[in-house]
Structure 1
Amino acid sequence: MNYCPHCHASSLVKNGRHPKTDCQKYRCQTCGRQFVQNPKKQRVGLGQKSLIGRLLLERIPLAGIARVVGVSERWLQNYVNRLYARVPRRVEAKPNRRTALCLECDELWSFVGNKGNKQWVWLALDRKTRAIIGVHVGDRSRAGAQALWDSLPEAYRESAVCYTDYWEAYRLVFPEDRHVAAGKDSGFTNHIERFNNTLRHRVSRLVRDSLAFSKKLANHIGAIWFFVHHYNLSRLDF
């Protein structure tokens, strides 16, 4: 390599040796960047990053993804931190107002760091499109139910009929005239309960008795939203 890998200029000068690998270092006189020729560790390419994105949607822990893709766990963790931080925390839905809107809501138990730090995943699913249109991660109190309600698009808050289980927090927050509480044997919440199983099977940090649990709440929330947005794209009517 007789040119700078950053600006492709050929005005290079030697600039000492790398303290760990003892490789010759060079400095570009045009852009000032330093580098070594033929580095042992190559940059992670777009193809590898695309593969990482697909693997994050499967039941594979970060350590497993690092082994499959051939990157360090430290690099992967930093990359995932940035990726999850950019994931939108809201669903932009424009439902067909000519049909009645119907929601199924449920809560999914999870934890961050240890099982004493419970983080409930509140979910709202459009019964017609099967898309997830509301998400909140927090405690299982009235405040959690309120946050789920606030996460819904305006059209759903205005007119949707909401089917839930008998958890008291729903009754305290959801409009009485559009709230239907029912048991699991009624079948009114079958779709959201089925999605809960899908979520546990696809997001490794939600698997029961897993070593891939979340250590950081922001990443826990980001991983859930990352999967939700991908799942919604598969709903053709959404």
Structure 2
Amino acid sequence: MQCPSCHSENVIKNGRIHNHKPKFACKACGRQFVENPQNRISEDKKALIDKLLLERISLAGIARVVEVSERWLQSYVNQKYKETPRKVQVKKKPKGKLVIQCDELWSFVGNKHNKQWVWLAIDQETGEIVGVFVGDRSRQGAQGLWESLPAVYRQCGVCYTDFWEAYLGVLPTQRHRAVGKETGKTSKIERFNATLRQRVSRFVRKTLSFSKKLENHIGAIWYFVHHYNETLSVAAD
């Protein structure tokens, strides 16, 4: 038995990995390894994991179903969310009258004292999510949502919101409409908020699957938003 890093033969047994395969440690360089390692995670299994991340299933549940270690799965998810684009991908819109609905969704990371508000905007006609920002519920959050919108919406969009004061001074006065729920003018974005809570486990109000890292919280939101917009495009075609 030789160390794969330094090729030293000063190797000892060092327990077992999750599937009970013996693990070894090199006393010369400290490298830990298994004999004849194999990549057990097939591309088909990764594709299945990608789909399960879009359902209301905890990472521990996915690990049990797909039969992978939670440690490997967490590393895989961390990388996937890190690589997920933080910019909306929507169909090109002609300049003209566009109508969007905006709202804020409460969430938290780590514990309920660390509130993270998810600011969202939806195209009233196409149903696409066209703006996303995660932050506090102040004017800075409203500004982040406004800046996340594609340029055509900032130039031509009429924005319907609730009466939350943070929108004032950020959205153009001549194109901002503050309305109550009874008008139905914000019903689409409110319905998407419900969808998000039902589909993504970390947004369920009483859950043990809450986010522990802000980066993954934001990545999970963007991952779902991109999938949601893609399904709308497929349905339209």
Distance change (3 Å), C-alpha of 1:23 and 1:53? closer
Equivalent residue, structure 1, for 2:128:
131
Kindly state the Cα deviation for residue 93 of structure 1 after the two structures are TM-superposed. 3.2
After superposition, residues 1-20 of structure 1 pair within 5 angstroms as 19=13, 20=15
Give the SS at the match of 1:149.
helix
DSSP 3-state at the match of 2:207: coil
What is the count of residue pairs matched by the alignment? 216
1:97 Cα deviation after fit = 1.5
Instruction: Give 1:171 deviation, angstroms.
Output: 1.6
Partner deviation per Cα, 1:120-177 (whole Å, 9 max, x = no partner): 0000000111000100000000000000000000110001000000000112200000
Q: What is the CA–CA distance in structure 1 between the aligned matches of 2:23 and 2:180, rounded to whole Å?
A: 70
The percentage of counterpart residues that share the same residue type is 59
SS of 1:84's partner is: helix
Quick one: distance in 1 between partners of 2:189 and 2:22? 57
Give the TM-score normalised by structure 2.
0.84
Tell me what 2:73 maps to: 76
Paired position in structure 1 for 2:146: 149
RMSD, matched Cα:
2.3
CA contact (8 A) 2:90 2:229 kept: no
Please, which of 29, 35, 45 is the counterpart of residue 48 of structure 1? 45
The list of structure 1 runs, each at least 4 consecutive aligned residues, that deviate by more than 3 angstroms after superposition, is: 15-18, 20-25, 92-95
Aligned partner letter, 2:35:
V
- Taking the aligned partners of 1:45 and 1:68, their CA distance within structure 2 comes to 15
Aligned 8 A contact 2:133 2:141 in 1 = yes
TM-score, normalised relative to structure 1: 0.84
Give unpaired runs (5+ residues) of structure 2.
1-6, 25-32
Q: Answer yes or no: is the 8 Å Cα contact 1:134–1:149 preserved in 2.
A: yes
Q: Which amino acid aligns with 1:234?
A: T
Q: Report deviation, 1:44.
A: 0.8
Deviation (angstroms), 1:79: 0.7
Quote the offset at 1:197 in angstroms.
Answer: 0.3
Distance (Å, rounded) in 2 between the aligned partners of 1:96 and 1:145: 23
Partner of 1:36: 35
Q: 2:192 aligns with which of 191, 195, 203?
A: 195
User: Larger deviation: 96-105 or 143-152?
Assistant: 96-105
- Counterparts of residues 153-168 of structure 1 (less than 5 Å): 153-168=150-165
Q: Which among 215, 224, 228 is matched to residue 227 of structure 1?
A: 224
Structure 1 stretches lacking a partner, 5+ long: 1-12, 26-33
Q: Using the alignment, how far apart are the partners of 2:90 and 2:77 within structure 1?
A: 26
- Secondary structure, counterpart of 1:92 in structure 2: coil
Could you tell me whether the CA contact under 8 Å between 1:92 and 1:153 is conserved in 2?
no
Distance 1:24 1:109, change over 3 A: closer
Would the alpha carbon gap of residues 17 and 233 (structure 1) be closer, same or farther in structure 2, given more than 3 Å must change?
same
Instruction: Give the Cα–Cα distance (whole angstroms) in 2 for the partners of residues 64 and 171 of structure 1.
Output: 43
Residues 20-31 of structure 1 mapped to structure 2, 5 A cutoff: 20=15
Q: Against the structure 1 CA distance between its residues 24 and 200, is the aligned structure 2 distance closer, same or farther, given a 3 Å change threshold? A: closer
